[in-house]
A and B are shown apart, each in its own frame.
Chain A
């Protein structure tokens, strides 16, 4: 992993995440989040998780975020007004977050410093991940399908109108 690649990607991830949180327009927030997700996909690829990286883009950037944009457009959301009167909250939250992030980062850095395990050539390939997914994690995997079904039904029930056809 070359620092030449890591630092730009990390910077992109952090800056776009900050843009998500600070942008006034929800669409800009969503587009910034897409940038964050793509940067994270690049991180996954650097960590030898090609499959996860591809899925990150397909599922998150390609599907979930389009859903977000779709809803923003559907609701025709305008830009948020500049937030006033809660400067204390914002600076407080920011300050606490900086302190906590610093603490977390220090702990994580100290406990994961040094070289990691030596990875096999096949680490992170579709085959290896799939083997893990369909043997050790078979039951959770099947359960997620139920979860998705429930989510689909729930979303349809919640978002449908009362006058939608088919209702008595």
Chain B
């Protein structure tokens, strides 16, 4: 029998996979995608808790997370495009100067 606990564990695993991606990758877009994995792991935890507690609030919060993620993706990708235009790279290591 699968309970919400299984989903919580899955959520924890996904969260740390995302965290490893953020720490080890240098490509900004991949870092960004790793952040999305972490956000989604959080979403999964929320939904699992909603299921366990029998209250709907967990699912409602997921909406807000999704909205924030969409907004963040739009702005973040715009930032990446602007950076690429100026610096011709999206490697995190090479974007070390504060201005160009």
User: Are A136 and B77 in contact, CB atoms less than 8 angstroms apart?
Assistant: no
Interface residues of B in 47-99 (CB under 8 A from A): 47-57, 59-60, 62-64, 66-75, 77-82, 84-85, 90
B100 to chain A, nearest CB (A): 15
B3, B57, B78 pick with most chain A CB within 10 angstroms: B78
* Interface SS of B by simple majority: helix
Bound Cα distance from A72 to B28, whole angstroms: 11
Bound Cα distance from A4 to B13, whole angstroms: 20
User: Are A29 and B30 in contact, CB atoms less than 8 angstroms apart?
Assistant: yes
Number of A-B contacts (CB under 8 A): 243
Bound Cα distance from A6 to B8, whole angstroms: 13
Inside 8 A of B18's CB, which chain A residues have their CB?
Answer: 17, 21
User: Are A105 and B60 in contact, CB atoms less than 8 angstroms apart?
Assistant: no
Bound Cα distance from A2 to B2, whole angstroms: 6
Inside 8 A of B2's CB, which chain A residues have their CB?
Answer: 1-3, 6, 46
User: Are B56 and A128 in contact, CB atoms less than 8 angstroms apart?
Assistant: yes
Bound Cα distance from A124 to B55, whole angstroms: 9
Size range of the interface on A?
35 or more
* Interface SS of A by simple majority: helix
User: Are B12 and A124 in contact, CB atoms less than 8 angstroms apart?
Assistant: no
Across the interface, name the chain B residue whose C-beta is closest to A110: B5
30 contacts between A and B (CB under 8 A): A17-B14, A17-B17, A21-B17, A21-B20, A30-B33, A47-B4, A47-B51, A59-B66, A60-B69, A67-B77, A75-B80, A75-B90, A80-B26, A83-B26, A94-B24, A97-B20, A98-B16, A100-B16, A101-B16, A104-B15, A105-B9, A112-B3, A113-B3, A115-B3, A116-B4, A132-B56, A132-B59, A136-B60, A144-B68, A159-B82
